Amino acid sequence: MANRPEPSQRVSRRDFLRRLAVAAGGLSMVPILQACSGYGPGATSAGGATPPPAAPTSASAAAPTAVPTTARIVPGAGQTPAAGGKQLTLLIESAFVKEFDDYFTSTLAPAYQKETGVVVNYDPVSVGSLQTKVTAAIETKSGPDLGVLEFNWAFLYDDALVDVSDIGENLGKQYGGWYDAAREACVVNGKWKAIPIGNIGECHVYRKDWFDEVGATTFPETWDELLEVGAKLKEKGHPLGLTMGHGFGDNHSWEYPLLWSFGAHEVDETARKVTLDSPETEKAVEFVKTLFQKAQLPDVLGWTDPSNNKAFFGEQISDTVNASSILTVAKRDFPNIAPNIGIALNPKGPTGQRYHMTNPWSIGIFNFSPNVEEAKKFLAWLNEQPHFQPWIDASQGYYVAYLHAYDDDPIWKQEPRLGPYKEQVASAHLPGWPAAPGRAASESLAKYVIVDMFAKAAQGQPTKSVISDAAAQIKQIYNIS
């Protein structure tokens, strides 16, 4: 599936990269969400706001503010490598779980320098700014040797990335094989263009005590069951809080999977036929409209990713979709709420299937680097289990490894509630599925075509009309007549 050509050729690669350089810091493909899981500076008001009219579909219309991070000393900076040694720079977005960054700087980088004489500079940038930095480096052909890639960036930057298939295939053989989602995100035209670190998953995070009060002792298995339970919760003053605004990922992470679970998609697997205008989509839109009216907090239409965190910790909502770091924050800052938190997979739809959105973090090597071979050696070393496992464990479940060797990682026994984040990898896909990832799927995501379709219906616009409008946008984006 990953070797199908991208159908849209209306925008040249150079023009597309320039467009990304402008938009990436705001919306274009900001990942499913480091910022969404925070609670603190940058969080927007979650209650008392009047839902705004349907948001415009321009990718530049509602760019969220990136959450600033504290600068850290880059290991290797100011150091001199051993005689004949080299330096490498890894461009990466600051992790929400600080221990993940700290383990690299305090343990991995020094260990690699001691073993090889090569200094590895760890260059973290603020949340939301990584794609701007990656795009600029590729355009100028200068800067880092390696870079973290998110979502479907391996497809967007294919021409600037080194083939690392030898590393990818060797890791698969050595560590029990890859989940399909890893190949879906990183194998471009049959070649590994990046090596996955892990998936930032999103699951339902809910108040188990409040669900118990309305008779739901386990999380609903189907969307219909969630609607029924959600209506009861709303009557008791505990509505659902599933984000429907222009955020980073908490919106996409339930709305795309819901659409898929109803048997609907934007395009077919060839990406040459728009399939959105269908009876299945109509049923999905009608369901979301009813869910909004009967079970949701009205404010969700205007929410960005920090909003649901604030509402959840303010005890305004009983359920939302978020990354695992919301539990980490609860344990640290809200000890009265943390014991009552449950975590669950997305419900099943009429097809009998459940789906999730995948947000892979991976590392690619830029082909303009003067140290390609050294970078490949480091990337292979980094992914050896003695080095990789403690690094990903430092994220406390925030990143889920894509190799089956880590399925029984002790981290899942330390906090059993995190289990769904591991399980969801098996049913996760990128936006635009079942078509191969590419620029068109990214543009559709950036313009909130699916998000706005659901939001407009929730605000009372006719179902057939919002679907027709969304399908027309998809045709234009995919250049399908």
Distance CA 269, CA 356 (A): 18
DSSP tag of 68: P
Task: Find out whether 148 and 197 touch, Cβ atoms under 8 Å.
Answer: yes
Mean per-residue pLDDT over the chain, rounded:
86
Q: Which two tokens stand for residue 272?
A: 């040459």
pLDDT tens, 282-327? 999 999 999 999 999 999 999 988 899 999 999 999 999 999 989 9
Looking at the structure, tell me whether residues 273 and 308 fall in a common domain: yes
Give residue 97's pLDDT: 87
Residue 6 lies inside a defined structural domain of this protein: no
Across 113-117, 152-156, 431-435, least confident range:
152-156
Report how many domains make up the chain: 2
Between the alpha carbon of residue 230 and those of residues 216, 308, 324, 354, 446, the distances in Å are 10, 16, 22, 19, 29
Judge whether residue 20 has pLDDT over 90.
no
Looking at the structure, tell me whether residues 324 and 458 fall in a common domain: yes
Q: Which two tokens stand for residue 16?
A: 């597309």
Residue 41 lies inside a defined structural domain of this protein: no
pLDDT tens, 41-83? 333 333 333 333 333 333 333 333 333 333 333 444 444 444 4
The pLDDT confidence band at residue 247, using thresholds 50, 70 and 90, is confident
pLDDT tens, 79-104? 444 445 689 999 999 988 899 999 99
Residue 29 lies inside a defined structural domain of this protein: no
pLDDT tens, 411-438? 999 999 999 999 999 999 999 999 998 8
165-183 burial, b at 16+ Cβ within 10 Å, e below that, comes to: eebbeebbeebeebbbbbb
Domain limits for position 133: 87-125+129-200+358-421
Between the alpha carbon of residue 393 and those of residues 195, 273, 396, the distances in Å are 18, 42, 5
Judge whether residue 236 has pLDDT over 50.
yes
Residue 116 lies inside a defined structural domain of this protein: yes
Looking at the structure, tell me whether residues 364 and 469 fall in a common domain: no
CATH code of the domain in which 167 resides? 3.40.190.10
Give residue 108's pLDDT: 98
Residue 13 lies inside a defined structural domain of this protein: no
Judge whether residue 220 has pLDDT over 50.
yes
Looking at the structure, tell me whether residues 111 and 175 fall in a common domain: yes
Looking at the structure, tell me whether residues 141 and 276 fall in a common domain: no
- Considering only residues 84 and 262, tell me which one the structure prediction assigns the higher pLDDT: 262
Distance CA 47, CA 232 (A): 20
Looking at the structure, tell me whether residues 214 and 310 fall in a common domain: yes
Distance CA 271, CA 274 (A): 7
What average pLDDT score do residues 456-469 get?
98
Residue 30 lies inside a defined structural domain of this protein: no
CA-CA-CA-CA torsion for 431, 436, 437, 441, nearest 10 degrees? Answer: -60
pTM for the model stands at 0.81
What average pLDDT score do residues 357-366 get?
95
Looking at the structure, tell me whether residues 325 and 468 fall in a common domain: yes
Give residue 249's pLDDT: 85
- Residues in the chain, how many? 481
The pLDDT confidence band at residue 8, using thresholds 50, 70 and 90, is very low
